[in-house]
Structure 1
Amino acid sequence: MDIDLTRLRHITAIARTGSFSRAADDLHITQPALSRSIATFEKRFGLRIFDRDRSGVVPTAMGRLVIEEAERVLRAARDLNHNLRLYAKGEGGDLAIGTGPLLAMLLPDLGRHLLTECPAIHLRASVRTPEHLVQELLDDRIELIFGNSWAIRDIPDLEFYSVGSIRMAFVVRAGHPLTTQSRVTTGMLARYPQASAAGASVAGLPLETGSFICDNFHVLRELVSQTDCIWLAAPSVLADDIAANRLAPLKVDDFPDIESEVAMICRRNRTLSPAAQSLVEHLRALLTAHGRRP
C-alpha cells in the first residue's frame, strides 16, 4: 500500500494544531522530519494538502478531503486495535452460536455468564434443530452449534466434541390422566398427542394421534402445560416447572432411561474464539450440574 498510518497521523496532527512546529512537538519528531513526511506524501499522490504562509498552515480544498478521510481511517484503526485486544482476551467482538431446542432454557445462564465475563461482547443465538443450523455454520454465519449431532454426523467439513449429556424423560402437565396411573407403558403414551422439536414420532413411539412440532422450547413447554400432549424433555431443565406443579415427569416401565449427548459442533480445522471457548466450558459445567440433579 502507498498509505501508512504514520503519515496519516502526521497530516491530522498538522490540521489539528494549524502548525508544523506544534504538530512535530505533539508527535515527538523534528519539524524537518515532519515536513519531509508531508512532502513525500504530496509528491507520491500528486496533490497539495497544506498551503503555508506567514499566517500559518491552511488545508487546501483537496487537503480538507484528505484530512477527513485520514481521520476516518485512523478512527477505524483505533477501533480495530481496541477490538483485537478484546478479541484476544475474549472480552469483545461478535459471537454467533446456534443451539438445539433442548438447550434453549440454558441460554439465559449462558448469556449471563458471557456478558459478565465479556461485557463488550455481542452475542447472537439461534435456536433451531442442528440439521437446520448446519448451513449457517458452513457459511460462517455462526461459530458453533450446541446440540445433538446424530443427524449431521456424515457431513465431512464438521468436527464434533462431546460437551456432556442430559437425562431425558417423558413429561406431561400436572393433572394429566397418565399421572394417576400406577403403571405407565409406551402403549399408553401412544394414545396422546406428541409434542416434539424434531419430528412427528417421539423416540420411535407409534403415532396413533396428533402431534405438534416446533423448535421453540418455550412454545413446547406452554403447549404441554395446557394440553394432554406428551413431551420427551429434560426434567432437570424443567425443574422449576416441576417444583411448581405445572409439569410432571413420567416413569415409563418399558422405556429405557435416555441420556442425550450434547455436542459442540464446529467447522473442521477452525480455532474457536476465546469467548466461544469460555461458553463451551460454562455449558460443560452447567450440564454436569444438571446431571447431579434428581
Structure 2
Amino acid sequence: MNLDTRIKFRHLLCFLEIARQGSFAKAADAMAISQPAISKTLKELEELLQTRLFERSKQGVELTPAGVRFMRYAGPSVQALREGVSTLRGEEHAPPQVRIGVLSTVESLLMPEVLCRLHQRHEALVVSVATGPSAHLLAQLHVGELDLVIGRMTESPQIQGLLFEHLYSESMSLVVRPGHPLLARQPIERSQLGRYPLVLPLAGTTIRKHADSLFVQCAIEQPLQRLETLSPALSRRYVQSSDAVWVAPRDAVRIDLGRGELCELDLGVQEPGGSVGICSNAALPMSLPARWLCEVLREVAGQYRDGSYP
C-alpha cells in the first residue's frame, strides 16, 4: 500500500507527543496548542489509518496494540528527519553524542564508573543523561529521543515493543543511619518498622512494586509517614539526619554501607531482586556512540557480577 500523502508531519508530532505525555492536556501544553486542536489532529490521523491509536484510562491515555506498532515507525521517522535537518545546518561537525535515560537503580554506582571509562576511551563524546520514572524514559525511547535506557524496568508496560538486555540482578535493602534504634536487635522486630518514617520510590514505578512486594512478603504494614522520591541524594541525606528507614536499591547504598555511613537492617528474608539491564529501540539503528556505551556497560556489569567492582 502506498503512503497516504494526507498524513502530515503535524499528525506524527501530535501522535508522538500524546504517547510521550500520556495525556491530551499535557501534550497540548507541550505543543503550545489547544486541547481541542490536538484531539482533532489525532482524530484525523486515526481516520487516515483507519484504526484507533489510543484508549482512555484512569491514568490518562494508553497506546492500543495498533498504536504500539505505529510508534515503532513514527518515532524513528521523525527522528531521522530531525537529524537530516541538523546535517544541513552544519551540525554534522559536532562531537558524537549518545542520549541515555538512567533510572535511580543505577544512578549512584554503575553509571558513574561507566561514564568515567567511556570518557577515558573517547576524547570527543557528549553523553546526555535524562533521569526520571521508567514510564517517562521508555516513552522517550519509543519516539527516538533517547538511544538507550538503563536500569530496572522489565515490569513496566511501556517496555512493550522494545529490546531488553539483562546485565545483572539487584535486590532491595532496608537501610538506616548508624545508631538507629532498630539496630539494637537483629533480625529486627518487623512490627517496630511502623514507628519510623519510610523512604520509598515513587508510587507506580517498577522499583516501587518490588518494594511493596517485600513488605507484603514480610506482612509489614507501611507507616503513614512516608517520603516518596526517586532521588538517591535526597533519600540519603534525609535518612542520615533522621530515624527514617530507606527501602533502597542495593546499588544505591552499597558504597555507603561499605563506609559505615549507612547500616542495613536484617529482616530475616531477602527480596529476590530484579533485572537491571539495557533497553533499546529495535526500530532504530544503534549509533556508534551508543554501541560504545553498551560495551562499557557490559564490561562494568560483568565485574559487578564477579565481585571485582566496586
Shorter-chain TM-score range: 0.5 to 0.7
User: Structure 1 pair 152/75, CA: closer, same or farther in 2 (3 Å)?
Assistant: closer
Q: Is 2:300 the partner of 1:286?
A: yes
| Deviation (angstroms), 1:95 | 0.8
Q: Which of 113, 116, 123 does residue 112 from structure 1 map onto?
A: 116
Structure 1 unaligned regions, length at least 5: 1-72, 84-91
Q: Is the 8 A contact 1:144 1:264 kept in 2?
A: yes
Q: Spell out the pairing of 1:36-185 with structure 2 (5 A cutoff).
A: 76=90, 80=92, 92-105=95-108, 106-153=110-157, 155-185=159-189
| Deviation (angstroms), 1:260 | 2.4
The equivalent of 2:234 in structure 1 is 219
User: Structure 1 pair 155/243, CA: closer, same or farther in 2 (3 Å)?
Assistant: closer
| Deviation string, structure 1 residues 79-133 (Cα, Å, up to 9, x no partner) | 73x66xxxxxxxx411110111121113322221221122211111112121121
User: Structure 1 pair 223/286, CA: closer, same or farther in 2 (3 Å)?
Assistant: farther
Give RMSD over aligned pairs: 2.8
Tell me the secondary structure at the aligned position of residue 96 of structure 2: strand
Q: Which of 289, 292, 302 does residue 275 from structure 1 map onto?
A: 289
Q: Is the 8 A contact 1:149 1:160 kept in 2?
A: no
Q: Is 2:246 the partner of 1:231?
A: yes
Tell me the secondary structure at the aligned position of residue 292 of structure 2: helix
The equivalent of 2:212 in structure 1 is 203
User: Structure 1 pair 153/74, CA: closer, same or farther in 2 (3 Å)?
Assistant: closer
User: Structure 1 pair 125/100, CA: closer, same or farther in 2 (3 Å)?
Assistant: same
| Deviation (angstroms), 1:233 | 2.3
Within 1, Cα distance between the matches of 2:229 and 2:289? 29
Within 2, Cα distance between the matches of 1:233 and 1:214? 11
| Deviation string, structure 1 residues 179-231 (Cα, Å, up to 9, x no partner) | 11132144333332221223278333222231111122111111121122222
The equivalent of 1:261 in structure 2 is 275
| Deviation (angstroms), 1:236 | 5.0
Within 1, Cα distance between the matches of 2:99 and 2:89? 26
The equivalent of 2:264 in structure 1 is 249
Structure with higher Rg: it is 1
- 1:251 partner amino acid: D
User: Which portions of structure 1, spanning 4 or more consecutive aligned residues, are displaced by more than 6 angstroms?
Assistant: none
User: Structure 1 pair 252/157, CA: closer, same or farther in 2 (3 Å)?
Assistant: same
Aligned residues: 210
- TM-score of the superposition, structure 2-length normalised? 0.59
Structure 2 unaligned regions, length at least 5: 1-86, 216-220
The equivalent of 1:29 in structure 2 is none
| Deviation (angstroms), 1:278 | 2.5
- TM-score of the superposition, structure 1-length normalised? 0.62
User: Structure 1 pair 184/287, CA: closer, same or farther in 2 (3 Å)?
Assistant: farther
Structure with higher strand content: 1
| Deviation (angstroms), 1:152 | 2.2
Within 2, Cα distance between the matches of 1:115 and 1:286? 14
Q: Is 2:193 the partner of 1:189?
A: yes
- 1:179 partner amino acid: L
Within 2, Cα distance between the matches of 1:195 and 1:114? 33
Q: Is the 8 A contact 1:192 1:230 kept in 2?
A: yes
User: Structure 1 pair 146/186, CA: closer, same or farther in 2 (3 Å)?
Assistant: farther
Q: Is the 8 A contact 2:104 2:131 kept in 1?
A: yes
Q: Is the 8 A contact 1:144 1:267 kept in 2?
A: yes
